[in-house]
């Protein structure tokens, strides 16, 4: 009865063994092949009888001695009593060979089952995948746009080369960012995430070309154009985020230059037409004024001392003289006066101008700092006119500070651009934003009427233009104002 069961069971086991879909072989610990299943025989085009009792090393390698442990998984199974898997390539195919020990009650190996799996497809897919991955990595790395990806918790997982440059981490010894939040000014990352989740802003999980600010490793705030996306897994859960940044600094710089140039152009057009107008008016007024002065002086001469009309007439003459001064200034502004040029070091001109400042009282409570560069800074200018410019800038500065503060006069040059610079900085209250584009207009003044004509800066503008230079407000704010004068450097011909 037992024999029947045993035999039945044996048959059953053999059938199972035979129907295994992987080619499988049973080996004894002495390397003798016991049996191979149908798939194995098909694969090797063998029959059971020929295989049986062959040594495995002979069957596979036509050798007469067992292989070395380092080459042979069977030997290793015998040594370790553990299963072994090896993958190898055979005639263009990839195989996984799995060697499993069958142990007896004492833990000794009684059989080794070797089963062969064709993993060519898996290997091909793996290699395709790794090629695709490599291609994606190369595309991402070589992109001119900065690309950053972070996981669900905001931990940065990827930063391509452009991003490393943009965020200034290229030569950093230690990695400065723990979390993507640190890539933005405080609180901004959260705002970006809620914009990303907002379906009305470019679709769920997407942002396209929005302006943003990022913070580099050195703390610099950089304007960028940002496109971002949330990456969802198959169950629609957020699994990562990625963002692409394009640096806007160059664009902003160009836009600013363009705007400045447009403003300058508008300013010089305005000044040119105002200049023509001023010249016309000055000429027209000059002759009647001369008449008024001449006749009133003649009348004054004929009036005996003590005549009450003398005082009135003196007022007429004084005001007429004041008008003459204004006319003269207007003519300078409109460049209708002669120019006598002379080569002079800008520092010398500055010193002369300070000496010429008539009302020295106004400087009593002002500390004056002169930072005069001692480079060769010659200019070829009408020294009288240029002094007038400098004096007006100094007096304006003193007026702005109400006679109390700090005045800094700085000279320097740009050798390659062949330009000489003069800066006059004060610690006054600054120029109001709405007045900034009016200060060079003739008669624009915020000072009490009668004290000022508002011609100082417009005259200065005309003079500096005449010398091929430029006058501008370099900086203004509650901490003070800096005027900048730019003049062409005089380069003596080499002898």
Ligand X SMILES: Nc1ncnc2c1ncn2[C@@H]1O[C@H](COP(=O)(O)OP(=O)(O)OP(=O)(O)O)[C@@H](O)[C@H]1O
> Pick from ligand X, Mg ion, none: which does 400 bind, CB < 5 to 8 A by kind?
ligand X
Site size for ligand X (CB under 6 A): 20
Task: Find out whether 33 and 25 touch, Cβ atoms under 8 Å.
Answer: yes
422 binds ligand X (CB under 6 A): no
353 binds Mg ion (CB under 5 A): no
- Using DSSP, state whether 233 is helix, strand or coil: coil
Q: Which tokens belong to 341?
A: 């040029």
Sheet containing strand 238-247, edge to edge, reads 156-159, 146-151, 238-247, 221-232, 206-215
- The smaller minimum CB distance to Mg ion, of residues 48 and 446, is found at 446
Shortest reach from residue 355's CB to ligand X, in Å? 19
Shortest reach from residue 459's CB to ligand X, in Å? 8
Rounded to the nearest angstrom, the gap between the alpha carbon of residue 180 and the centroid of all alpha carbons in its chain is 17
Return the residue of 97, 426, 489, 490 that touches ligand X, per CB under 6 A: 426
The stretch among 23-31, 170-178, 403-411, 456-464 that binds ligand X (CB under 6 A) is: 456-464
- The smaller minimum CB distance to ligand X, of residues 248 and 445, is found at 445
- Kindly write out the interface string for residues 473-492 of this chain, putting x where it contacts ligand X by CB under 6 A and - elsewhere: --------x-----------
Binding residues for Mg ion restricted to 397-456, rule: CB under 5 A: 456
347 binds ligand X (CB under 6 A): no
Return the residue of 24, 37, 396, 489 that touches ligand X, per CB under 6 A: 396
Sheet containing strand 109-118, edge to edge, reads 33-36, 24-27, 109-118, 93-103, 84-90
Q: 3-state DSSP helix/strand/coil percent for the chain, to nearest 5?
A: 45, 25, 30
Task: Find out whether 78 and 31 touch, Cβ atoms under 8 Å.
Answer: no
Shortest reach from residue 268's CB to ligand X, in Å? 17
Task: Find out whether 96 and 73 touch, Cβ atoms under 8 Å.
Answer: no
Taking the C-alpha atoms of residue 370 and residue 62, their distance in angstroms, rounded to an integer, is 99
Other beta carbons less than 10 A from residue 431's beta carbon: 18
- The smaller minimum CB distance to Mg ion, of residues 31 and 440, is found at 440
- The smaller minimum CB distance to Mg ion, of residues 392 and 481, is found at 392
- The smaller minimum CB distance to ligand X, of residues 275 and 456, is found at 456
Inter-helix orientation angle 249-302/309-333, to 10°: 150
320 binds ligand X (CB under 6 A): no
Task: Find out whether 78 and 1 touch, Cβ atoms under 8 Å.
Answer: no
**Upper half-sphere CA count for residue 375 (Cβ side, 13 Å):** 17
445 binds ligand X (CB under 6 A): yes
Report phi then psi at 118, rounded to 5: -80, 110
- The smaller minimum CB distance to Mg ion, of residues 24 and 387, is found at 387
Shortest reach from residue 174's CB to Mg ion, in Å? 56
> Pick from Mg ion, ligand X, none: which does 240 bind, CB < 5 to 8 A by kind?
none
Return the residue of 24, 388, 396, 458 that touches Mg ion, per CB under 5 A: 396
Q: Which residues bind ligand X (CB under 6 A)?
A: 392, 396-397, 400, 426, 428, 431, 439, 444-447, 452-458, 481
């Amino acid at each position: 009865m037992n024999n029947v069961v045993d035999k039945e069971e044996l048959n059953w086991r053999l059938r199972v063994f035979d129907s295994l879909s992987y080619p499988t072989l049973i080996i004894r610990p002495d390397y003798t092949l016991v049996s191979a299943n149908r798939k194995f025989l098909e694969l090797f085009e063998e029959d059971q009888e020929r295989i049986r009792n062959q040594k495995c090393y002979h069957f596979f390698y036509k050798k007469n001695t067992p292989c070395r442990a380092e080459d042979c998984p069977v030997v290793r199974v015998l040594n370790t009593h553990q299963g072994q898997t090896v993958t190898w390539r055979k005639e263009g195919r990839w195989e996984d060979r799995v060697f499993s020990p069958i142990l007896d009650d004492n833990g000794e190996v009684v059989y080794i089952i070797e089963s062969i799996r064709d993993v060519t497809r898996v290997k091909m897919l793996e290699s395709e995948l790794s090629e695709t991955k490599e291609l994606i990595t190369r595309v991402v790395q070589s992109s001119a746009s900065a690309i950053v990806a972070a996981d669900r918790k905001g931990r940065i997982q990827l930063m391509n080369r452009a991003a490393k440059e943009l965020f200034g981490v290229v030569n950093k010894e230690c990695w400065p960012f723990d979390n993507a939040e640190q890539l933005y000014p405080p609180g901004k990352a959260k705002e970006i995430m809620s914009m990303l989740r907002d379906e009305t802003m470019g679709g769920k999980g997407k942002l396209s070309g929005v302006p943003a600010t990022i913070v580099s490793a050195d703390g610099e705030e950089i304007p960028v154009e940002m496109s971002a996306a949330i990456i969802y897994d198959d169950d629609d859960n957020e699994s990562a985020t990625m963002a692409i940044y394009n640096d806007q600094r160059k664009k902003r710089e160009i836009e600013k230059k363009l705007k400045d140039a447009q403003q300058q152009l508008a300013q010089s057009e305005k000044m040119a037409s105002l200049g023509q107008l001023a010249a016309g008016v000055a000429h027209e007024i000059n002759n009647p004024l001369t008449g008024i002065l001449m006749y009133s002086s003649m009348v004054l001469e004929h009036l005996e001392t003590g005549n009450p009309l003398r005082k009135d007439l003196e007022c007429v003459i004084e005001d007429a003289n004041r008008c003459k001064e204004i006319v003269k200034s207007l003519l300078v502004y409109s460049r209708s006066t002669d120019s006598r040029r002379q080569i002079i070091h800008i520092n010398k001109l500055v010193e002369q101008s300070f000496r010429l400042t008539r009302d020295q009282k106004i400087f009593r409570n002002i500390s004056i700092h002169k930072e005069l560069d001692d480079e060769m800074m010659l200019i070829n200018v009408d020294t009288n006119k240029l002094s007038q410019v400098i004096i007006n800038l100094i007096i304006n500065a003193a007026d702005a500070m109400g006679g109390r503060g700090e005045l800094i006069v700085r000279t320097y040059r740009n050798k390659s651009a062949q330009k000489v610079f003069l800066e006059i900085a004060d610690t006054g209250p600054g120029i109001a934003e709405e007045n900034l584009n009016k200060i060079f207009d003739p008669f624009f003044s915020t000072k009490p009427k009668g004290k000022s004509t508002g011609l100082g800066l417009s005259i200065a503008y005309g003079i500096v233009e005449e010398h091929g230079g430029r006058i501008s407000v370099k900086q203004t704010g509650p901490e003070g104002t800096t005027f900048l004068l730019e003049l062409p450097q005089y380069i003596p011909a080499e002898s």
